[in-house]
Amino acid sequence: MADWIDLMGSFIIGSMVMLMLTTFNSTVSSTASENLIDGVTQRQIVSSSTAIEDDFYKMGFRATGEKISVADSCEIKFCGDLGNDGSLDTVRYYLGDIDELSGTPNPNDRYLYRTLNSNEPQSLHIITDFNLSYFDSLSQPISFSDLTNAAGRARVKTVRVLMIQESQESVEDNYALAEFEKTIRPKNL
């Protein structure tokens, strides 16, 4: 009888230990995945923001005419000698359509495009939001209706960039999120 009790006890304790180990493994694995995806998302947004900053700080460099030709909430087109090589470049940033990435698990992601001169648009990164706002020399916001004409765009001295990036894959229905917000004051405007 005592043997049976030992056997039953061992079985119950063993099962509990196994259950704990499985749960522990699962939790550690899930956290590791979250961290991995978080890290990747953060590195991607840093990479995107570096590219944007590099271009935006050169906005208007060596340009004598209109420096910003399109200024919208999720699109901007400006010129500047990006390579400091004497030739004026035109750069356009805009947000792609959400349908272009309908096949990915994240329903909100879309491409952020960058077009240099007359080249084909290149997707800079996959993000979920890209928002631009514009300010004059007194740091007052300029309305988008004012930015439809050249005189309004000529008032722009500062551009605030908000970019949100979510992971394409979710971990337990949660998407890793990284946000970049910066007010850039190109010195050539």
Q: Which stretch binds another protein (CB under 8 A): 32-40, 92-100, 102-110, 159-167?
A: 32-40
- Residue 188 within binding range of another protein, rule CB under 8 A: yes
Q: How buried is 62 (Cβ within 10 angstroms: 0-12 exposed, 13-18 middle, 19+ buried)?
A: middle
Q: How big is the chain, counted in residues?
A: 189
Q: Which stretch binds another protein (CB under 8 A): 28-36, 128-136, 142-150, 163-171?
A: 28-36
Interface residues for another protein in 66-95 (CB under 8 A)? 81, 84
Query: Which residues, 6+ apart, have CB-to-CB distance to 106 below 8 Å?
Result: 128, 166, 167, 168, 169, 170, 175
- DSSP label at residue 97: -
How far, in Å, are 22, 31, 45, 175 from residue 28 at the CA level?
A: 10, 5, 26, 18
Interface residues for another protein in 150-179 (CB under 8 A)? 157
Shortest distance, position 16 Cβ to another protein, whole Å: 10
Interaction site with another protein (CB under 8 A): 10-11, 14, 17-18, 21, 24-25, 28-29, 31-32, 35-36, 38-39, 42-43, 46, 50, 57-58, 61-62, 64, 81, 84, 137, 157, 185, 187-188
